[in-house]
Amino acid sequence: MCVMPPLSRRGVSVGFFRLGTRPDPATVVTLVDELKDRFGVEPVLRVLNIAVSTYYGWLAHTANPSARRREDADLAVEIAETHDVSGGTYGSPRVHAMLRRQGRHVDRKRVERLMRDAGLQGAFLRKKWRIPSTRSNPRATPAPDLVNRQITAAAQNRLWVADATRIPCGVGVFWLAAVRDVFSNRIVGWRCSDRCDTDRSSAPSNMASGRATSVTARGRTTRTSSGPGTPNSDVEAELG
């Protein structure tokens, strides 16, 4: 038996639906079709607070869909196929772009609406899933900028710049620390790790130093990032 909760427990509403919302005709037609044999059409519509004439108008419209609705149905199939081919990663902008690439000229808002109706969405990183970056040591002293932001060099191995990049992936987060020679623009040392600390941040520079044996430490300046995840003062102290 279909028992409706008291109006006070359902909040401010009009019949079965919340005030200010337009009931979906397809949902109403399906619901009435399921309940009409047990309760009759008019009693169900009375509970839903929907006029009988309105219901039969929706019923006729559902039985004889317009050309626009038939096009939407066909387009929804294409959208679902494109979304499935992408592995469920494409959102409405990329699905729309793929359809246009295939010669299907359709409005972007229409694709967005049909995807929303079908419950399809692209892959994205929700805020609550984001893992915070490594926190810097509040007692550490930031290293001075030895080149005063003049990132130029007259010869190879005279100025290196170092940084660590946080890269999210499917199994967690890993860090890529790299050292670049400013003159040649080549990566002279790098290291990947699941942590960003002094040992791992200085490893790429130590690798690069081993390769550049013809240049003394006094003739070379290493400038590290001042980002929150890079213990730059310790790295530069270790490099001398």
Are residues 229 and 177 part of one domain? yes
Are residues 56 and 78 part of one domain? no
Q: Tell me whether residue 204 is exposed, middle or buried, using C-beta atoms within 10 angstroms of its C-beta: 0 to 12, 13 to 18, 19 or more.
A: buried
Are residues 42 and 20 part of one domain? yes
pLDDT 10s digits, 215-232: 444 445 554 554 444 444
Determine, yes or no, domain membership for 140.
no
Are residues 233 and 176 part of one domain? yes
Determine, yes or no, domain membership for 2.
no
pLDDT range class, residue 2, cuts 50, 70, 90:
very low
pLDDT range class, residue 136, cuts 50, 70, 90:
low
pLDDT 10s digits, 153-205: 888 888 888 888 888 877 778 888 888 888 888 888 888 877 776 655 555 55
Q: Which of 63, 87, 109 is the last residue of a domain?
A: 63
Question: How many structural domains is the chain composed of?
Answer: 3
- β-strands 13-14, 172-181 pairing: unpaired
Are residues 73 and 59 part of one domain? no
SS3 of residue 142 by DSSP: coil
Stated length of the chain: 240
Determine, yes or no, domain membership for 133.
no
Domain coverage including residue 230: 159-239
Question: What backbone torsions phi and psi does residue 20 show, to the nearest 5 degrees?
Answer: 90, -5
Residue 129 pLDDT exceeds 70: no
Determine, yes or no, domain membership for 132.
no
Q: Are 160 and 182 in contact (CB under 8 A)?
A: yes
Are residues 169 and 231 part of one domain? yes
SS3 of residue 160 by DSSP: strand
Q: What percent of the chain has pLDDT over 70?
A: 65
Please tell me the pTM assigned to this model.
0.36
- Find the DSSP H helices in the chain: 7-10, 25-39, 41-48, 52-63, 67-85, 92-101, 108-118, 198-211, 232-239
